[in-house]
Chains A and B, each alone.
Chain A
Amino acid sequence: MSEKPARAIKLNVINEPKENYKGGPSSLCPGCGHDQISNVIITAAWENGIEPHRIAKMSGIGCSSKTPAYYLGQSHGFNTVHGRMPSVTTGAYAINKDLLYLGVSGDGDSASIGIGQLIHAIRRNMDMVYIIENNGVYGLTKGQYSATADIGSKKKKGKPNETQPIDLCALAINLGCTFVARSFSGSKKQLTSLIKAAMSHKGFALIDVISPCVTFNNNDESMRSYGYVKDNEVTLHMADYIPHFEPVTEVEIPEGHFTDITLHDGSTIRLETISDSHDPSDAMAALTALHQAEVGKKHVTGLLYFDSSKPSLAEDLGLVSTPLLDVDASDLRPSEDMLKQMNSEFLGR
């Protein structure tokens, strides 16, 4: 019997196989958009060559917030409480600013119970990737509308939604969020580029991903069903990510018009114009695109807004360059002489 030659395992730039970025089996409904996003996260982290243990997976409560168990099994993570992942991440970040914080949330988690924490994390421009797996319904509690359900959209059971939805991308742009994108769980290529770019960004990177709920919100009358999104997606541009370890010069130059955006770690996101050009540094243009899509009952996807000029939370905190986690105990506790000196000062005051 001849032995089959072992197939060479593909390794990334830090010589890790993709296997090392995977997680446990998913317990979500078969066909759930969230599982597609989990797979994209695995691919993005692997292809970007990030050490798995330097990632911290953060989430709240809900279907989406369960997914950190399904990717990056070598990363620590924290499945916190409903809507409060941003604050836990903020605290962890203050202690260890050198980790890549990868947050996954849902529309219930982010647009309802946790909207306050989301807003304030954006205000602080905390360094993190914040992915919203947005399906317009509460899944775990069996199909109630969420605050992002579109007007006129109808889930599998019950009346159409008539309550004004919250557009989390528009909200983020208005708050001065420094990286705002929308994508679709079915647009694997675009989503991969956007998540990779978000990982290279210093500051708060929000990606709102339309992720159909196959159980409660995938019927034809729903504006967040696979079929509807496929037919009504307006793509702003083709997005290509060129990692910093791969020189831009070696990448094929596209034929049409394109814009290169350099990200914090030296990587590039290349936006190729499809029909009308979109300038991601123009907040008004981004808001207009979102508004037009809403009026036309469409979903606009791509990198809506980007700003690299704002200081991130780390700079704002004015801390030592070493993560606080690694500061010596002798520096954390002032000396006995210092306390003696203070005691005598108090006596004299």
Chain B
Amino acid sequence: MDTIVNDFTINIATANGTGSQSANLILLQSLFDMGVPVSGKNLFPSNISGLPTWYIVRLSDQGYQAPGDRTHVQVLVNKATWEEDLASLEPGSVVVWNTDSKMPMDRTDVFSYPVPMTKLARSLSPKLAKLVTNIVYVGVLAEILGITDEALHKAVEGQFKGKASAIELNKTALELGRNHAKENYTKGDPYVVEERPIEKDRFFFEGNEAVALGCIFGGVQLLAWYPITPSSSVAEGIIGWIPRLRTNDEGEANCAVIQAEDELAAAGMIIGAGWAGGRGMTATSGPGISLMQEFIGLAYFAEVPCVFWDVNRVGPSTGLPTRTQQSDLAMLYEGSHGDTQHIVIMPGTVEECFEFGWKAFDISERYQTPVFGLSDLDLGMNRWACEGFTYPDAPMDRGKTIREKDVFEAMENFGRYRDVDGDGIPYRTLPGSGMAPILYRGTGHNPDGVYSEKPDDYFNLMARLKDKINRARDDLPAPILREEVEGEIGVVYFGSMENTIQEIDDMLEATGIKVSQCRVRSLPIHSEVESFIRRHKTTIVLEINRDGQLWGILRRELPNDIVSQVHSVAYSDGMPPRARIYADLILETIKEASQ
């Protein structure tokens, strides 16, 4: 039989809260350290303990990071999903299963590797058997697939840094699994791991961690947050780094952290921080943004800088709290009642999570308006290969905030909302400064900030706000283009779809269709997006949602003459995007468009 090298998907079915996550991360990290292009997805339930969890490891020499369309190697530990997981396997798959589960294993068309996982684990540590079971299957997989001890041991040491007894226990358990496999099986399946040379230094990092670090380097001064999956690790990341990066020798921090009573309060707090002249931010998910709507309108209308990070999960309502989606875009872009329009920045890689983390504050203070960072569960909570973070290329931009009295006195005709420079951005003074005191308000106001219901005042204010955000367009992160010279079809997408686009592209190319790619990284839409669309006969807007939210925004904002050449491919079932589904939908749409 021919071997299949570094091109398969491992699916590990366990129960939540059994400690399988650390074993799975050891498996992932050891593959990564062998130079194998690999990605891991944690499909977890909204639960502390007991419900089914799957961990998907994709090995791909092509560098594909999506979970893939099928499972090649299945690890069965969880009784609850056993039969379903087993039934869904294609013939020829590998099944590593726990014989102590006393569950049926009646497939004869697969490569079966029975392992008494619980017994082996008990023999090592009766007390920790549940935890050890997980590392036993990693040992078995290592032997069957060819993962080196060197890589495994390095991963174990990294996972349990400094905890000698845990390192020892895990290494012994790995050995136990490996020896069981050595003694009992002859390899019959084709799946093999092969070491690859490491060309570039890279490490694994989660998107949320990267946003957090970016915010720390962006000079965040107030983090106000309310815990919500899948964003909590942004806040926890910031909290974790403050002692090292933002604390003086006396143990005093220069970043405040307040766990708010709810998302409304978190929004209020960061608006208060922005009003007082500081850099305030919150991290939340869709339900939190829903709750913050009123405050978002206040920040827009009163022109108060503040930064919101939305780590998108599946909506509407409570939805699927631990699954991924790109469905908050429209809500962020036009958050709150009345006519509004907000700046949204959408990272697609871990490096960009860091970059947009610090940049969001600069944009927000420059334009005196709320800025939304939009990530999602897939990007935020999974580990991605990262080439390292780049230091901010410019000093902090504090915007048109007058902090010195002589500067203020030299100004003619100051008014908090007067467009002195003709760029839509007024100057502001801060509470406590003694300069131009005004009563900020969410009510209508004239250029001096005084309450007004005059038609001209309202009309001019709304027009200036529109103009201000409009002007930000080409100052925001530009789209990333990968263009085929002869391509007639363009694909526009954003955010974490970046991790699946190459596989989709290859699938399309296999059918003879070459497409260009345009990854949108900000709203309002950069002018280059329109040019990209004009250069292609047909453009597909690819999104992980039901309604095609980015497509909707484009359709409304693009000139009429090109609207009809922009088509939507939007699909979401809660799972991280699988390339085959989107490739097929694109093919279908192209076909329809050409008719």
Given the interface pairs A69-B439, A79-B443, A87-B268, the reply to whether A96 lies near B261 with Cβ below 8 Å is: no
Closest to A318 in B: B253
CA distance A55 to B246 in the complex (A): 29
Complex contacts, A91 vs chain B, CB 8 Å? 222, 224, 258, 268-276, 280
Tell me if A327 is interfacial: C-beta within 8 Å of chain B. Answer: yes
Complex contacts, B161 vs chain A, CB 8 Å? 349
B277 touches A53 (CB 8 A): no
B203 touches A94 (CB 8 A): no
Complex contacts, B276 vs chain A, CB 8 Å? 56, 91-93, 95-96, 99, 325
CA distance A87 to B280 in the complex (A): 13
Closest to A98 in B: B432
Complex contacts, B277 vs chain A, CB 8 Å? 95-96, 325
Residue of A89, A119, A319, A340 with most partner-chain B CB within 10 A:
A319
A317 CB, min distance to chain B CBs, angstroms: 5
Tell me if B264 is interfacial: C-beta within 8 Å of chain A. Answer: yes
Complex contacts, A96 vs chain B, CB 8 Å? 276-278, 430-432
Given the interface pairs A73-B437, A89-B272, A321-B252, the reply to whether A343 lies near B388 with Cβ below 8 Å is: yes
CA distance A339 to B267 in the complex (A): 29
Complex contacts, B246 vs chain A, CB 8 Å? 332, 334
A95 touches B280 (CB 8 A): yes
Complex contacts, A69 vs chain B, CB 8 Å? 439, 451
Interface string of A218-231 (1 = CB under 8 A from B): 00000000000000
Interface string of B426-447 (1 = CB under 8 A from A): 0001111110011111110000
B437 touches A116 (CB 8 A): no
B268 touches A84 (CB 8 A): yes
Tell me if B294 is interfacial: C-beta within 8 Å of chain A. Answer: yes
Complex contacts, A340 vs chain B, CB 8 Å? 391
Tell me if A75 is interfacial: C-beta within 8 Å of chain B. Answer: yes
Closest to A320 in B: B252
Tell me if B37 is interfacial: C-beta within 8 Å of chain A. Answer: no
Tell me if A76 is interfacial: C-beta within 8 Å of chain B. Answer: yes
Q: Which of B69-77, B144-152, B167-175, B212-220 contacts A (4 or more CB under 8 A)?
A: B212-220
Query: Which A306-349 residues have C-beta < 8 A from chain B?
Result: 317-321, 324-325, 327, 329, 331-334, 336, 338-340, 342-343, 346-347, 349
Tell me if A281 is interfacial: C-beta within 8 Å of chain B. Answer: no
B395 touches A329 (CB 8 A): yes
Complex contacts, B219 vs chain A, CB 8 Å? 329, 332-333
Tell me if A232 is interfacial: C-beta within 8 Å of chain B. Answer: no
Given the interface pairs A94-B256, A333-B396, the reply to whether A87 lies near B217 with Cβ below 8 Å is: no
B262 touches A95 (CB 8 A): no
Q: How many residues of A contact B (CB 8 A)?
A: 57
* Partner among A54, A86, A333 whose Cβ is within 8 Å of the Cβ of B432: A54
Complex contacts, B452 vs chain A, CB 8 Å? none
Tell me if A188 is interfacial: C-beta within 8 Å of chain B. Answer: no
Closest to A78 in B: B440
Complex contacts, B255 vs chain A, CB 8 Å? 324
CA distance A81 to B280 in the complex (A): 18
B252 touches A318 (CB 8 A): yes
B261 touches A343 (CB 8 A): no
CA distance A76 to B431 in the complex (A): 5
Query: Which B261-307 residues have C-beta < 8 A from chain A?
Result: 261-262, 264-280, 294-295, 298
* Partner among B158, B294, B389, B432 whose Cβ is within 8 Å of the Cβ of A343: B389
A80 CB, min distance to chain B CBs, angstroms: 7
CA distance A333 to B221 in the complex (A): 10
Tell me if A261 is interfacial: C-beta within 8 Å of chain B. Answer: no
Interface string of B9-39 (1 = CB under 8 A from A): 0000000000000000000000000000000
Residue of A78, A319, A320, A338 with most partner-chain B CB within 10 A:
A78
Closest to B388 in A: A343
A95 touches B278 (CB 8 A): yes
CA distance A339 to B213 in the complex (A): 10
B205 touches A94 (CB 8 A): no
Complex contacts, B258 vs chain A, CB 8 Å? 90-91, 94, 124, 317
CA distance A320 to B106 in the complex (A): 66
Tell me if B422 is interfacial: C-beta within 8 Å of chain A. Answer: no
A325 touches B430 (CB 8 A): yes
* Partner among B201, B252, B260 whose Cβ is within 8 Å of the Cβ of A87: B260
Tell me if B125 is interfacial: C-beta within 8 Å of chain A. Answer: no
A87 touches B431 (CB 8 A): no
A116 touches B261 (CB 8 A): yes
Tell me if B245 is interfacial: C-beta within 8 Å of chain A. Answer: yes
Complex contacts, B437 vs chain A, CB 8 Å? 53, 73-77
Extra contacts besides A69-B439, A87-B224 (13): CB < 8 Å = A76-B437, A76-B438, A91-B268, A91-B273, A94-B224, A94-B273, A96-B276, A96-B432, A116-B262, A320-B253, A325-B278, A327-B254, A349-B203
Q: Which 4 residue pairs are nearest across A and B when measured between Cβ atoms?
A: A91-B272, A87-B268, A95-B278, A332-B219
Residue positions of B touching A, CB distance < 8 A:
158, 161, 201-203, 205, 213, 216-219, 221-222, 224, 245-246, 248, 251-258, 260-262, 264-280, 294-295, 298, 358, 386, 388-389, 391-392, 395-396, 429-434, 437-443, 451
Q: What are 27 A-B residue pairs whose CB atoms fall within 8 Å in the complex? A: A54-B432, A69-B451, A77-B439, A79-B440, A87-B264, A90-B272, A91-B270, A94-B224, A94-B258, A94-B269, A94-B273, A95-B272, A95-B278, A98-B432, A116-B261, A116-B265, A120-B261, A120-B265, A124-B258, A319-B253, A320-B252, A324-B256, A324-B278, A325-B430, A333-B358, A334-B246, A346-B203
